[in-house]
Structure 1
Amino acid sequence: MNISIIKPKKKRFNVTGNCYPHLHYMMDISAKMKKVDELIDYGDYFTISRPRQYGKTTLLVSIVDSLKNSNEYLPILLSFENIDEKLNATEATLAQSFIKKLTTDLLEIYPHLKEKLEEISNQTNSMFELSYSITKVINLIDKKIILLLDEVDASSNYVPFLKFLGILRAKFLNRFSQNDYTFHSVILAGVHDVKSLKYKIKSSEDLQYNSPWNIAVDFKVPMEFNPQEIIPMLSDYNEAENIGMNENELEQLAEKLYYYTSGYPFLVSRMCQIVAEDILPTKETNQDKNTQKWTLEDIDSAFFLIQKEVNTNFESLIKNLQNNQDLSNLVSDMLLEGRIVPYNARNTVIEKGILYGVFKQNGTVKINNRIYEQIIYDYLVVSIDIDKVKPAYFTENKFVLPNKELNFELILQRFQVYLKENESRKEETFLENQWRLLFMTFLYPILNGNGFALKEAQISEERRLDLVVIYHSHKYIVELKLWRGEAYHEKGISQLYDYLERQNKDTGYLVVFDDRKEKTTQLKSEWIEIEEKRIFMVWI
C-alpha cells in the first residue's frame, strides 16, 4: 500500500508520539543508527529498554525507514500497545494474535501470497504450531525478516508472552539447522528489559520463566543526545526560520540544553518547543531579525517554565518514586544529604532507578538531569505537612528589594527564627534529617513561581549542599552544611569562597545546622569578609 507523504509548510518541535524528519526538527541519530545497523547485519537479537519518552519508538521507525528499500532485509514493525488483554491470556490466543499481525503486514507487501499466508495463519492455534508457522513464513519470503516488537511491556507481565520469547530463543539456537528457520534479527522495545520483568511478575511460580531471552546481546547504544547531536536540530530550525544564528551560537545553545537535560530526548525537544512557541512570540519584534535569535537566557527561561508543567513524563517520574519507597528514600538521601552512591549493577534499588530513568551512572549514581532534580525537590517539599513548615505570615513581598532583588539576609534570619519558635514541636531526629528540606519548603513560597534553586551536591566530609538560587535575573549562592567541628567549618568557608569565585559572585550565604547539646540558646549570625568576598552565616 502506497501512502503519500504530505510535507507541511513548516516543521516544528515534537514531544507527542513518533518523530518524522519531514514533519519535525530532529536531533542527529546517524551515530546511533550506524551501531544498530551493525547489530542487525550480524543477526543479533537485542532489547532497547529505556524509560518512557526516550526515543525508542522513533528509533524503531527510523530502522524501518532505513531498511524499507533494502534488497536484503524486510523490516516488520509490530506493536503490543493497546492489545486486547484476552489475547495475552493464553498461549493459544497469543500465538493466534501474533501470526495474524505478522501475516497481515506481509500481505500488504506480498499480495500474491495471500492464500498461503492466510492458510498459515488459520492453522496456528498453539505455541507449538506457531514455531512451525514462523518457519513456513520465513521460507515464503525472499528477504531476511527483521522483526521489531514495540511496547512489549503491554504483554510482558503475562507468562504466555515469556513462552513466546522462549519459542524465538529456541528457533534462534537452531537457526542453522536444516529444518528450522527464523527471523534474521529480533528487536524488542520497552521500558523493561526481559531480565527486569521480576518487577512486573510477582508470582514466584511465574518467575521460573524470567530468562527466555539470554540470547540477546547487550544494547549499548546511548539513547541520550550529546551537544554535537543536538546542534543539527537547532541548525535545521535556524535555516528554516532564516534566523541567522552562527555556529558558535548554536554550539553554546546545544551545550546549555545538554546542561539542563543531560540529553534526555523528550526534555531537549520540549525545551526547544518552549523557546520557539512560548518565549519567542513574547519578544518585541522590529525590523532586526536578531530579536528572534535564541539566547542562553531563553534556555534558562525554558528551564524555569518546564518546571511548572504537569505532563505524563513528570507524572511517571513521581509515580515511580511513590510506588518504590526504597528508591524514594535513596533519592532523598542523595538530594538532601549529599549522599554519594557508587554505581553497583547488582543493587536492585539502583537498578530500578536506572530502569525508570531516575538515575544515570558514570562511576557514581546521579539524578538523571537537572530538570528531574527540580521536579523531585518539588515533590519532596509538598510531601511534608505544609502547616508544620510554612508560617501563615510568610509572603514573597516581605523579602523583595528594589530591582526585584531578594533580601537573602532577612530570609535566613526569618528561617532561623522560625526553627527556634517551632523547635519544641519537632522531634530532634526530624530536624536533623529534614532541615534541608524544611529550608527548601521555606524558600519556595518566597520564590513564588518567579525563581528556582539549582542544587549541586558536594563530595566532602561535611556533606554540603550548594544551592544556586535564581530569582528573576538575580543569582544567590547558598551553602547548607552540618556542623562537624571548627576545622571542617573553616574548610567549608574556604570551599564556599572558591565556589563564589567560580560563579563570579562577591556575596554568599552559609546555613549551618548545629546539633550540639551545649550550643547557645542565642540566635547566632554574622557577616565575614575574605578578601573581596562577603559571606553571611547563620546557625540553626
Structure 2
Amino acid sequence: MAKTFNVTGPCISAKHYMADMTGRIKQIRKMVDAGAYFTINRARQYGKTTTLAALEKELEKDYLVIWLDFQALGSAAYQNENTFSLSFLQIFYRELKRRRVEKIPGMKVILTEIQRNIEEKEQDFDLMELSSRLLDTCGASENPVVLMIDEVDSASNNQVFLDFLAQLRNYYLERDTKGVVTFQSVILAGVYDIKNLKRKIRREESHKTNSPWNIAADFEVDLSLSQDGIAGMLAEYEKDYHTGMDISEIAKLLWEYTSGYPYLVSRLCKLMDEKIGSESGKAKQEAWTREGFLKAERMLLMESNTLFESLIGKLADYPELETMLKNLLFFGKPITYNPTNSMIALAMMFGFVKNQDGKVIPANRIFDTLLYNHFLSMDELKSSEMYLASLMDQNFFIKDGHLNMRKVLERFVAHFHELYGNRKET
C-alpha cells in the first residue's frame, strides 16, 4: 500500500509519511524511566496522539503500558463518583485484556474481580475501590506500569476527575515515602493543562487554578516539526515519486509558513500531493515547487477544517482573547509575554501565539492570515474605514496572489514625503 500524508488520527510510520520522532521519544522515555508524572498539553492536532502511539511502542518491552482514551467515556460517566469509577474500570479492563495480562501469575484473579465489579455495577463502587483495583494491578504486574490517558479534556465533570487525580497524586507521594507500589509514570494528554481544565469547566467558581496535579514534572519536549525533520519526510516521499523537487527549498517554505505545526505541514503536503499534482493532468513535478506550495497555501486558507473551526470558535468563547488578537494583528500593539496573564496563557495553549524573545507574536504565518481574513470578513468591519481601505490596498499591492514590493516601496516613499518632505534638516 502506498503511503500518504495523514491529517486524521495518529500517524503510523508504515502507512504515512512522517518526520522522524526518535529524538523526542528518547526525551520522553527518560522522564518515564525517572518515574515522572506529567501532562502533554499542546494545541489541537499538534501530534499528541501520534507521540503517545510512538511512545507506547518504545516502552512496551520494559513496561506494562495502559493507554486509555477519555473520548471512549460518554457524558454519563461523569455524573458522579460511582459512574466515573465503573466507567474508568471498564476501559481499564479492556486495555488489560488487549495486553493479554491474564498470562501473568496473579493477574487472572484481579481480572476476574474487575469483571465482577463491572457486571454487577455495584452502587457503592467509588474512587477508593477503583484505586484498590489499580494498585492491585500495579502490584501483580511483572513490569512497572505506565498509565497514559489521552483526550483528558473530555473529562466534562471537573470535580470527580480532579478527585481521581488527587488520589493518583497521593499514591505518587506514598510511592517514595511508604513504598506503595503504584504507577511508574502517569501521562495525561490534551489541549488544556490541569489548571486550565479546571478553569474551562468551572469558570464561575473561585480558586479556579487550585490543582491536585502539582506533582507534575515540566514537559518541555518540542513536538513541532523542525525544518530538518520536514526535509526527512519529503526525502522519503521523493524516493517514491521522483518529482525532482528541491527538498531544502520546500522544507524551508513549509517551516517558514507553519513554524512546524504538524497538522499544517501535513495538510499542505497532502494538498500538493493529491490536489495540485492531479489538477488538469499536471504532473507531481509541477506541484512540488514554490508556485505549487503557494497555491496549496491559498487552498488551505480557503477551506473549512476542524482545526480552523476550533480556533475561530475559541474567539467566541473568550471575547477578551479576540480583543487581544485584534490589537496584535491590526494595531501592531506590542504585547509583553507574561505567563501569569490568563489571556496570553489561553492564546498560547490554543496555538494562536508564541513567545519570541519575551514578546507575544502570531504562532505562524498561516494562523496570522487566517485570523486577519476572519476579522476583516466580520459584519462589524465590513462597513468600517479600515476594512474598505484594506480592500483598496489589497487590490493595489497584490498581483497574482503575490505582494508587489515595488508598489509597497513607491507608496512608502510617497507617504514619507507627505509627512516629512517640507521639514528642514537639522
Return the TM-score normalized by structure 2.
0.88
Work out whether 1:230 is the aligned partner of 2:230.
Answer: yes
- 1:444-498 deviation per Cα after TM superposition (whole angstroms, max 9, x unaligned): 6x59xxxxxxxxxxxxxxxxxxxxx543165323xxxxxxxxxxxxxxxxxxxxx
Distance 1:209 1:329 in 2: 23
The 5-angstrom pairing of residues 259-298 of structure 1 reads 259-282=256-279, 291-292=285-286, 294-298=288-292
Distance 1:85 1:207 in 2: 25
Residue of structure 2 aligned with 1:60, choices 37, 49, 52: 52
Work out whether 1:89 is the aligned partner of 2:79.
Answer: yes
Query: Paired residue for 1:304?
Result: 298
Distance 1:285 1:319 in 2: 37
Residue of structure 1 aligned with 2:111, choices 109, 112, 117: 117
Contact 2:78 2:156 in 1 (8 A): no
Q: How many angstroms does 1:304 deviate by?
A: 1.5
Q: How many angstroms does 1:349 deviate by?
A: 1.0
Residue of structure 2 aligned with 1:440, choices 385, 390, 393: 390
Match of 1:509, SS state, is helix
Contact 1:96 1:121 in 2 (8 A): no
- 1:14-47 deviation per Cα after TM superposition (whole angstroms, max 9, x unaligned): 1111111111100122221111111111110100
Question: Cα 1:217–1:240, aligned 2, differ >3 Å: closer, same or farther?
Answer: same
Q: How many angstroms does 1:333 deviate by?
A: 0.8
Distance 1:131 1:105 in 2: 16
Query: Paired residue for 1:335?
Result: 329
Give the AA of the match of 1:106.
Answer: L
Residue of structure 1 aligned with 2:307, choices 297, 313, 321: 313
Work out whether 1:76 is the aligned partner of 2:66.
Answer: yes
Query: Paired residue for 2:134?
Result: 134
Q: How many angstroms does 1:156 deviate by?
A: 5.1
Pick the structure with greater CA Rg. Answer: 1
Question: Cα 1:79–1:285, aligned 2, differ >3 Å: closer, same or farther?
Answer: closer
The 5-angstrom pairing of residues 372-451 of structure 1 reads 372-385=367-380, 388-389=383-384, 435=386, 437-442=387-392, 446=395
Distance 2:9 2:399 in 1: 35
Query: Paired residue for 2:404?
Result: 476
Give the AA of the match of 1:137.
Answer: T
Q: How many angstroms does 1:221 deviate by?
A: 0.8
Contact 1:12 1:23 in 2 (8 A): yes
Mark the runs of 5 or more structure 1 residues left unpaired by the alignment.
1-7, 390-430, 448-468, 478-499, 515-523, 529-540
Q: How many angstroms does 1:319 deviate by?
A: 0.9
Q: How many angstroms does 1:442 deviate by?
A: 4.3
Query: Paired residue for 2:339?
Result: 345
Count of residue pairs the alignment pairs up: 409
Give the AA of the match of 2:40.
Answer: I
Question: Cα 1:190–1:236, aligned 2, differ >3 Å: closer, same or farther?
Answer: same
Match of 2:360, SS state, is strand
Work out whether 1:510 is the aligned partner of 2:403.
Answer: no
Distance 2:408 2:201 in 1: 56
Question: Cα 1:373–1:471, aligned 2, differ >3 Å: closer, same or farther?
Answer: same
The 5-angstrom pairing of residues 102-113 of structure 1 reads 102-108=92-98, 109-112=100-103, 113=107
Query: Paired residue for 1:407?
Result: none
Give the AA of the match of 2:238.
Answer: N
Query: Paired residue for 1:31?
Result: 23
The one of the two structures with greater contact order (alpha-carbon pairs below 8 A, sep at least 6) is 2
- 1:382-427 deviation per Cα after TM superposition (whole angstroms, max 9, x unaligned): 11446635xxxxxxxxxxxxxxxxxxxxxxxxxxxxxxxxxxxxxx
The 5-angstrom pairing of residues 156-305 of structure 1 reads 157-176=157-176, 180-202=180-202, 207=207, 210-245=210-245, 249-282=246-279, 291-292=285-286, 294-305=288-299
Distance 1:378 1:23 in 2: 35
Distance 1:206 1:156 in 2: 18
Select the structure that is richer in helix.
2
Contact 1:157 1:197 in 2 (8 A): no
Distance 2:90 2:382 in 1: 58
Question: Cα 1:368–1:346, aligned 2, differ >3 Å: closer, same or farther?
Answer: same
Match of 1:118, SS state, is helix
Distance 1:60 1:263 in 2: 19
Mark the runs of 5 or more structure 2 residues left unpaired by the alignment.
422-426
- 1:313-360 deviation per Cα after TM superposition (whole angstroms, max 9, x unaligned): 111111111221111111111111111111110111101101111111
Match of 2:361, SS state, is strand
Q: How many angstroms does 1:90 deviate by?
A: 0.9
Give the AA of the match of 2:347.
Answer: G
The 5-angstrom pairing of residues 499-538 of structure 1 reads 507-510=409-412
Residue of structure 1 aligned with 2:317, choices 313, 317, 323: 323
Q: How many angstroms does 1:281 deviate by?
A: 1.9
Distance 1:372 1:513 in 2: 30
Work out whether 1:101 is the aligned partner of 2:91.
Answer: yes
Query: Paired residue for 2:424?
Result: none
Select the structure that is richer in strand.
1
- 1:271-306 deviation per Cα after TM superposition (whole angstroms, max 9, x unaligned): 1111111112237668xx8x3572122211211211
- 1:246-270 deviation per Cα after TM superposition (whole angstroms, max 9, x unaligned): xxx2112111101111111100000
Contact 1:174 1:180 in 2 (8 A): yes
